[in-house]
Every structure is written in structure tokens, then in C-alpha cells.
Structure 1
């Protein structure tokens, strides 16, 4: 429903007819619906008052409502006051577009003076300017442009500013988030007969905030609904599907358009896709998005990577929908070039894997000590004052959940799945030669869990584990947990730091920690501390704030790990945290023997501690 408004003589009828032609809608001139008394009054040179206009405006509103129930229309109407526009909007909710044709008094008076056979004399124009209230939230166009230029401006302004491709759980939540932040969006979901039909339009009708969103299941219509340069966020499964979607979109895109991959794509593939699209003059941003369904709706943490100038074009949208940190700054920042955004999101997920495994190990220790899930939840609630995190909070909620008289967690099969990012992070840490061992330990713990049948059979062969209580206090378990978390974050941040050096990304570690302080799965009190720590050093183990904590917690991690090992309780991440810390803090390791072995069978050479020149030696060991 389009109203073209402005004072008499601004060109409403001309533009209205052209717009109706363009959109294939009926056109109505408001002047044709004036009561005879109004026409007589204006012909006599008397301006209309509010009472004169009220009945006329109501007639036009009834016409608009009737036409809207069909396919809509274009109406040219002066609508000079906000109160007039309120009447015209009645029962149309937010389905109205206002076009305001703006010009100076002299420009329009010159036009009105040249009109022939019009009931309103030029002298009344002044009275219209006197009561004119400039509309808000309208498409304002200067009348000095040609009619064709005006139509083009209106058409461009009526297009959506941002497109979302893929209406899965995350895609839908981001659409609602964008709409709530006042953005005009277009939404696309594929059409598959009998499987996915009218997904976008049904979704639009489900939520009030989407009343102005444009739904599509045809790619060409979706792309054409967007202002150029187009900004399209892809929320589809990572992998080959991304490439298929890009191939489907390309024929409809124009040079300078921007695609944003908001999925968990492999950072190497992101770099490849950016290079491929660059050859087509299409921009590509790889943006990690963390927070799950709730985060996507209320404010996720967003990690975009790519060309910095291109990022600036999409930053207003991403900043608006992201979570906000303690200083109300968006938990979204330019990460760096190429696939750095997806790399950082991958490491985020790797840290998340280890954080989840540590909580699973805490759960196992506490239940071995005779606590039921509700009692474990109560213990963990007590930890929130010193070690709170999003994952700790949801673990408490999970452990409290009952199904009837039974705890739901105890009915869940102990087989943990994964979607690939932990695998990629483990590969990346191996490729870069960085010992981020807690990530790989957490991943392999999930892999081990999946062999349920083998585990059942092997327990029958080797016997059930010792079920006696562990000689541990809850505080010792808490301190061991805090110790292991620091090592996990150290290793994850170290992986990002080394990747930054290897790929010349120049990543800001403190800023990355900052965008992880809210909206994401690994937000925590520890992450808040790391924002400041990482401003001083890239190695958190030497930070003044971290050093005393590790020294304090070290006896507890030693006690917890030794007790669990002696009682045959698997604690892969707890044990790895202390093993890796012991390795990090040992000046003289046994690796000299390994290097001698390598030289023995492979002539790989070695350096000597008594030669500071760095020269490499080889020995014939069997002589």
C-alpha cells in the first residue's frame, strides 16, 4: 500500500501513476474523492480545515483497506498532517509505504500557477505549507529530479537493506533480531514440494516484528528485492552446500555485492571462496556467529573476517544485532583478513569442547562421591561466585531437570556427537605445531564416548571401575576445575596467536576476548579478566593476575588427578591440563633423548647446549 503525499502541485498524480505502472497496482487520485462541499470551498479560495478533511480521509482509508485485501494500490493524497496520516493508516498496521515529494514554496507555486482547470487556486498553496508536518519514516524525494529519477529513487528506497538466506533455527533467530533492530530485510528459504513449502511467508506471519520483512522462495526475486550493493548473509550448513548456494546466487548478483557466510565453515575454504568470488567482483565475509538459537535472537557474539573496507559496509547490521559487553559496546569486531573470522570461531568452539568436557569430568567426580544430579547442581551453583560461565549455568539447569521423578540427564545415552569444528581445531593445532592439547583431548573423549558397545564389552572383561568415594573435597574439585580452565584458555589463545603470526593476520587477542565476554557459549568471568590480561601480554601464564591463581590451584589439580587415576576414573582434560602445565614449566625436558633417537635412525641432526652458535650436529651413533 503506497501513499504519495505532499502539498498540491508537487507532482503526486504524475508520480503516483508511474509508480502504479511500475508495480502493476491500481492508482487512485485523492482529489477525485473530495466531497462537493470541499471542492466548492477550495474553488472559492477558502482553505480546508480538519473537519472538512476528516470525512474525505476516511473515504480514502476505506478504499485503501479494500484494495489492500486484494493486491494493494497507490493513492495520491496531500496528507499534510500526522493526524491525517493516522486516519489513512487505520487498519493497515505497518503495511503502508509513504512517499513524500518535497519542494520549496517557489518551486511548487510556479507549477501550480501553470495548472489549468484545477479547482484549487494557487493562492491556497501558502495555507498548505503552513500546516504541513514533515512525515517520519517516509521515502523523501526532491521534486527537482526528473519523474524517472524519482521513480528509481523510490524503488531503491523500498527495497530491503539486508538479506538472510536460509531459515533454519539460527537463520530465523537472526531475521527476528534484525527486524527488531529496525532493519528492512528480505528472507529466503528454498521451496521443496511436500517438504519445505512457504517457509519464509509462514515464518513472516508467525511473528509481529517481521510484518515489514519480505519473504521469498525464488532466488531471483529475493536478490532483486535488495538494495545495491546487496548484503546477503548465508545461514546454511557448512561444506559443499555453501558452494552450491554461491553457484545458485551468482547469476543474479551484481559487481560489488557482498556475501556473508555466517555458518561454521572451515577457514581454509573461506579463504578459497573469497578468492573465487573476488575473480567475479563479488565480496565475501566469513563471519563466525556464536550463541546458539537464543544468542542469535537476543544478541550473539560475531567474528567477521575479510576485507576491512567491505566489513565496514556490513558492520552497522552486525554491530546492531550483536550482544553488548559491559561497556555497551557490540560483541562484534573486525577480526582480520581472509578466513581469520572463521579460524577464531573454530578455536572458540575448540575451547568450548574442552570447557564442556571439564564440566563432564566434574560431574563424574561428584557423582562418584555419591551426589545425585540435584546435589551436584547445588554444588555448582555455589561455584558461580568465583568461576561462573554460561556453560556452568546451563549445566546447573540440566542437572536440575526432571522427567517425572527421575533426572533427565540420567536417561540420556552417553554418546556425545560433534559437528567438525573440534576436529578442524585439532588439525590446525597440529599443522601449526601448537600444543593445544586440551582441545584434542576433549575431541577424543567424545570419540571414545561414541564406542558405547565396545565400552560395555570391555567393562565386562576388565571389570567395573572402583566405586569407592574419592578422597577429595568439593573445594579441591573447584580449584582443579579453575586451574584446568586457565590452561584451556591459554592453549586456545596461543593457537590464535601462532596462527596470526603464521598467516600475517595481526589479530588483536584482547579484542577477541572482549567479543567473547557476552553472547557466546564460552562467555565467563575468566574471559572478562582475560580482556585486560591480554592487553599486557599474549602469554596469560606470565600475567600478574593469573600467576598467583595457578600457584594456588596447583595442589588441588595434583590431588584431583592422582585420586582419579588411582581410582580408575577417566579425566582426560583434567589430567592433560596438569601434564601440559608441567611440560610448559620444565626448563630441561627429556626431548634431548628424542632428538638423539631421531639423529640415530634418520640423521635429523641436533643442536648442543654447550654451543650458543646454533650449529646443527650429526653423530654416527653405532661406531
Structure 2
């Protein structure tokens, strides 16, 4: 992949000399940015007048265009002052992943002396202080002091940039393997690492590289120090390892081989509170930390997942080109990756994503259970679900249809699968978070507990004998089941986004709910036509049950879920999430709830006080009952 190397610094730091030498060393094209200033800029500087942002804008756009044109056929070196971050953003527009920065740094006196010795240059020494005044130190540049000889500076740059990978991936589990292939397919030079266990698991990274053509230029390692040394600085290393103690152990092992300004990206399903702690711990060591939620499974990670990064915005900008390039694309071709907010927010949003996912899966299981009780064969249930796709399509609906059509021998495979559903922790954390924040996202908890209940297989078998009853024939209209399913999905998405919104307020994260919905329209497990609809809804309302379109839909669907849930109860068929959707909604739409009794009880036994409906001051009262 071709790259542009921008050599920046204040006027007189030696950019042109170093740039020319480096271009010869690397055998690439050289451009001096000063040669592209319009005459109006040259006249101002010749008269001792500093350039302003407006003067520089057109010049920076010209250099960006020059870089793009050159990169089509070759790499290049461009020297340019680029003193502000906003200038560097313009220079690297649309080519961030092909841009490298070198910062030649020196003291005011050093550079003033050089300028005074320079002949026939329109840049006046009087303007030097103005350049130092606007200089914003770059975070992602290789900084070199100018007290070295130009030849020595070039040697350092060449050693740092030649044969170095731009991105590292630690951990070659299912997701790590797919993401590394995705990165390589997008043209990134990467290093991959996986631990070895003698006699058990050896040459994992090397063997994986050899198995895939797109990884032939990748560097494979089982030695941690060699892996770290193979990366350009600041290092960008994505961790794809198990959450919890494993992540902490990996970070501890890596830190001795990192240097100031390096960036660790945790792409696992980490707890958002752990992410905050790791961010603070590494900040004290001058190491940056980004917590990134990744959804899409093995196939999504390879072809394009939904990516939810959280952390310092400026640091995120240094990894943004990589994450956006490998992400799925929405209907408008935009990456399903967006900056979520400060540390912890990316993993929090991913956690809620998984909570919503738990509910969506449980709802489809309950729909299957209803039709199964009605005596419908799996392939016929699949046909019914397929007929729902024009109005209620989703990735999970699609795979459920495929599952129900899969046969093994003369029977459907689903009939041979033990009815125990596992979980890996994010549903637990989401349930804990909704309780800690006091947000009634009840359906996530209900879906989680349904999985827990499923694991008590032996108890359920015995209970089915102890409490056996004669079931009446369940008869429910297919259309009503669809409408009940749609109703429950609306409540699920309301609760999920409500949890995210309230967490944003509690933790002072500036979250964009519509943008989160957008990046969930492709790549992730909960992508659906309804999620696409929510992009516009959440631009207008922060809670979807407040939006007129959704209100109208709910009014039409409510009678059907009442009927379906009532029939399930009467026929002793468990439908926990469908039932919870109704119960939550009935409580949500009740202006005067029975909570006044609860508050009176609390005051009776614990003197917890209460407010009165006839006292508008909000004063808290206590009664000696």
C-alpha cells in the first residue's frame, strides 16, 4: 500500500533537507509544500505578515489533492509546516490510513539561528514566534530532535518506518482470526500474535498466516517483545482475548514493551467498569486505552462488523481509519462504526446491544414455542416466519428460518438440540447495570432468567411430572402472533435505548442515540429493518415510545399481544418476554400506579417518608401509623 509521509515542524527546522534525503532513501517522490503556496500567501509572508487559517485552507486542500493523486501510483514525501491539528486533518482527508507523520522539533533559539542563516527565503525570522504560538504538538507523529545531522535523522526515520507494521492484533481466537484477515484484505500492514503452549498449541500465528493468502505480507509472532518491536510508533494494538482477568494479564505482559503514546484497543466483551479502570491505570503510564465493542460474530468480523469505540476522542482519531475501514457499511455506504463517547461507553453500548439481542432471541424462541404447541412442524414454522420478512425482517429472523429448515436424516436438527441456553456474561452485566441505574429495562432481565431456567433441565423434567395438567388445544391466529412479536420488539428496543440514554446522563457521556441505531443497521447481530426506522425516530425523540409513528404502531398491535399472552397463560405455555412486554407497557401507561401503597408501607415500617398529592411543594411527610 502506498503511503504519504508528511514531515512537519516550524519554518527553519530543516524539513526540506530531511524530506529530500528521505525521498531518495525510500526512492519515492518529494514535494516541498512551500512551493504550492499561492502568490498572495508568499506576498504576505514576504511582508512579515503571518498567514491565518483562511489563507492556509486552500493551500492545505491543494496539498491533500496532490497527495491523493500521487498515491494512486506511488508513495511520496511532502514537507509542510502543518502546525495545527485542524491543518493535519485537512491534509489527511480521505487518506488517513495511508498517512504517516514526522515532527522535527527544536527550540526557538535553535531555529531562529537557522532562519537567520537562510538566504533568499520569503519566510521572515519575525514570523517565527507566531509559528511557535500556534503549534499543536501531534499525538500520532514520530518526533525527532533537530540537533542531529540530517543524515542521522533520515536513518532514524527509515529504521522506524521501513518494514514496520502499522497495526497489531493480539489473540487469534475466532474473532481475532476474522478481524486480522479483514484488516489484511483492506490493505493494512499488520502483525499478528498468539501465545504458544509447548506440545499443545504451537506456531498458531505462523500456521494461521500460512493458511490465508491475504496474510502473506503480515508478520506472525509468538514472542511478545518481537511482536511489539515489529510495530510503528505510536503502536496500535487490538486485543482480542477473553474478558476479565485474561485481559488484565495480557495488558500487564504487554506494558513493559510499550512506549509513551502507544494505544491499546480492547475489542473483547469487557465490562464497561473494568474498561474505565484500565483506562485510568494505563493513563498513569502514558499508554492510551480504547474500549471497543465489536458485534457480528465470526462472519461479521471477517466481512464487516458493527464497531462501538469509546475513549478519548483525540486518541480514537488515531485508530479511526483502521476501525472504519474494516466495519460494515450502512445503506448509504457509511461505516457502521462511530465514536460513542468517553471511556467505558463503547463497551457499555455493546453490553446493551447484547441485552437487546438476548430479548430478540428469546422472543423468536417463544414464537417458535407457540407454533410448536399448535402442532406445526419446524419447516412449516419457517414458512410462517418467512412470510413475516416483508414487515419484520431481521438477521435473527433470517437465521431462525434457516435453523428451522435444517434437517439431519429424517428429522429436523432443532429437535435434537438439548434445550439448555448458555450465556457469556454480557446479559448478566446489562441486568446489573439496569438495576444500578434504576432503569426499568425488564425484558433483558427476563430473557436472561429464561436462559437460567432452561439450564435446570432435570428439575424441569421432574416438575413437568409433578405438576402435569391436560393442556387445552392452543389456537392462535398467525397474524396475531406476528403483531404480538412486533409489539414486544418495540418495547425491547425502547428499553434498550432508554438504558443507554440514562447511562449517558449518569456518566456524562455525550451519546448520539440515532447514530448508535445507524451503526446497528448492518454488521451486528441485532440488525433489522426496524433498526433502520429507528435512525429517524431517534433524531426526533430520545425515547421511541414518545414518537407519533411508534405510538400509532403500538396502538394497532396492542390487542394482538393481549390475545396471544392470554392464550399462552390459559394454556400454561411459558412466554416470559411476550408477557413482560405487556406488563411493562401496562405499567408504563398507567398514570396512577399502586406504588403509593408501597411507599406507605415503607413509611409504616421504616419511616422512609412520602410525598402528598395535595402538597405541590414536594415536601416529604411521615405519619405515625
Whichever of the two has the greater Rg, that structure is: 1
Pair 1:171 & 2:176 matched: yes
Aligned with residue 216 of structure 1, among 215, 221, 237: 221
Output the CA distance in 2 between the equivalents of 1:603 and 1:147: 80
**1:150: how far off?**
3.4
**1:138: how far off?**
5.4
**1:522: how far off?**
0.4
Output the CA distance in 2 between the equivalents of 1:423 and 1:556: 31
Aligned with residue 451 of structure 1, among 449, 453, 456: 456
* 1:256 paired residue number: 261
**1:136: how far off?**
4.1
Pair 1:367 & 2:294 matched: no
Structure 2 vs 1, CA of residues 611 and 171 (structure 1 numbering), >3 Å: closer, same or farther? same
* 1:305 paired residue number: 310
Aligned with residue 437 of structure 2, among 418, 432, 438: 432
Assess if the C-alpha contact under 8 Å between 1:350 and 1:439 holds in 2. yes
Pair 1:475 & 2:479 matched: yes
* 1:506 paired residue number: 510
Matches within 5 A, 1:84-103: 99-100=26-27
**1:154: how far off?**
2.7
Assess if the C-alpha contact under 8 Å between 2:392 and 2:486 holds in 1. yes
Aligned with residue 203 of structure 1, among 199, 205, 208: 208
Matches within 5 A, 1:142-153: 146-153=150-157
* 1:27 paired residue number: none
Task: Give secondary structure in 1 for the equivalent of 2:548.
Answer: coil
Structure 2 vs 1, CA of residues 135 and 266 (structure 1 numbering), >3 Å: closer, same or farther? closer
Assess if the C-alpha contact under 8 Å between 1:167 and 1:189 holds in 2. yes
> Once superposed, what is the RMSD of the aligned Cα atoms?
2.0
**1:470: how far off?**
1.7
* 1:193 paired residue number: 198
Assess if the C-alpha contact under 8 Å between 1:325 and 1:518 holds in 2. yes
**1:137: how far off?**
5.1
Assess if the C-alpha contact under 8 Å between 2:28 and 2:75 holds in 1. no
Pair 1:397 & 2:324 matched: no
Assess if the C-alpha contact under 8 Å between 2:604 and 2:623 holds in 1. yes
Task: Give secondary structure in 2 for the equivalent of 1:545.
Answer: helix
**1:338: how far off?**
1.5
Assess if the C-alpha contact under 8 Å between 1:165 and 1:235 holds in 2. yes
Task: Give secondary structure in 1 for the equivalent of 2:290.
Answer: strand
* 1:484 paired residue number: 488
* 1:181 paired residue number: 186
**1:135: how far off?**
10
**1:148: how far off?**
3.8
Assess if the C-alpha contact under 8 Å between 2:168 and 2:231 holds in 1. yes
Output the CA distance in 2 between the equivalents of 1:159 and 1:260: 19
Output the CA distance in 2 between the equivalents of 1:531 and 1:438: 22
Structure 2 vs 1, CA of residues 524 and 103 (structure 1 numbering), >3 Å: closer, same or farther? closer
Output the CA distance in 2 between the equivalents of 1:334 and 1:102: 35
**1:140: how far off?**
6.5
Task: Give secondary structure in 2 for the equivalent of 1:183.
Answer: coil
Task: Give secondary structure in 2 for the equivalent of 1:304.
Answer: strand
Structure 2 vs 1, CA of residues 607 and 140 (structure 1 numbering), >3 Å: closer, same or farther? closer
Task: Give secondary structure in 2 for the equivalent of 1:546.
Answer: helix
Output the CA distance in 1 between the equivalents of 2:309 and 2:224: 25
* 1:558 paired residue number: 562
Output the CA distance in 1 between the equivalents of 2:506 and 2:430: 15
* 1:574 paired residue number: 578
Aligned with residue 531 of structure 1, among 523, 530, 535: 535
Output the CA distance in 2 between the equivalents of 1:396 and 1:325: 24
Task: Give secondary structure in 2 for the equivalent of 1:186.
Answer: strand
* 1:242 paired residue number: 247
Aligned with residue 238 of structure 2, among 208, 216, 233: 233
Q: Render the CA deviation track for 1:534-582: whole Å, top value 9, x for unaligned.
A: 0011111120110111001000000000000000000000000000000
TM-score, structure 1 length as denominator?
A: 0.77
Assess if the C-alpha contact under 8 Å between 2:30 and 2:77 holds in 1. no
Output the CA distance in 1 between the equivalents of 2:195 and 2:317: 29
* 1:349 paired residue number: 354
**1:496: how far off?**
0.5
* 2:130 paired residue number: none
Output the CA distance in 2 between the equivalents of 1:514 and 1:171: 24
TM-score, structure 2 length as denominator?
A: 0.77
Task: Give secondary structure in 1 for the equivalent of 2:620.
Answer: coil
Output the CA distance in 2 between the equivalents of 1:450 and 1:352: 19
**1:388: how far off?**
0.3
**1:100: how far off?**
1.3
Assess if the C-alpha contact under 8 Å between 1:100 and 1:135 holds in 2. no
Output the CA distance in 2 between the equivalents of 1:172 and 1:238: 17
* 2:389 paired residue number: 384
Q: Render the CA deviation track for 1:2-38: whole Å, top value 9, x for unaligned.
A: xxxxxxxxxxxxxxxxx9xxxxxxxxxxxxxxxxxxx
Matches within 5 A, 1:72-151: 99-100=26-27, 136=73, 146-151=150-155
Assess if the C-alpha contact under 8 Å between 1:141 and 1:153 holds in 2. no
Pair 1:156 & 2:163 matched: no
Unaligned runs of 5+ residues in structure 2 are 1-21, 32-69, 80-147
Output the CA distance in 1 between the equivalents of 2:540 and 2:500: 16
Aligned with residue 282 of structure 2, among 258, 274, 277: 277
**Length, aligned pairs only:** 496
**1:261: how far off?**
0.2
Task: Give secondary structure in 1 for the equivalent of 2:524.
Answer: coil
Assess if the C-alpha contact under 8 Å between 1:255 and 1:280 holds in 2. yes
**1:506: how far off?**
1.6
Output the CA distance in 2 between the equivalents of 1:139 and 1:420: 48
Structure 2 vs 1, CA of residues 229 and 596 (structure 1 numbering), >3 Å: closer, same or farther? same
Assess if the C-alpha contact under 8 Å between 2:240 and 2:266 holds in 1. yes
Unaligned runs of 5+ residues in structure 1 are 1-18, 20-77, 79-97, 105-132
Which deviates further from its counterpart, 144-153 or 472-481? 144-153
Assess if the C-alpha contact under 8 Å between 2:29 and 2:74 holds in 1. no
Task: Give secondary structure in 2 for the equivalent of 1:302.
Answer: strand
* 2:623 paired residue number: 619
Output the CA distance in 2 between the equivalents of 1:515 and 1:588: 38
* 1:546 paired residue number: 550
**1:469: how far off?**
3.2
Output the CA distance in 2 between the equivalents of 1:527 and 1:141: 44
Output the CA distance in 2 between the equivalents of 1:147 and 1:614: 76
Aligned with residue 605 of structure 2, among 601, 606, 611: 601
* 1:415 paired residue number: 420
**1:370: how far off?**
1.1
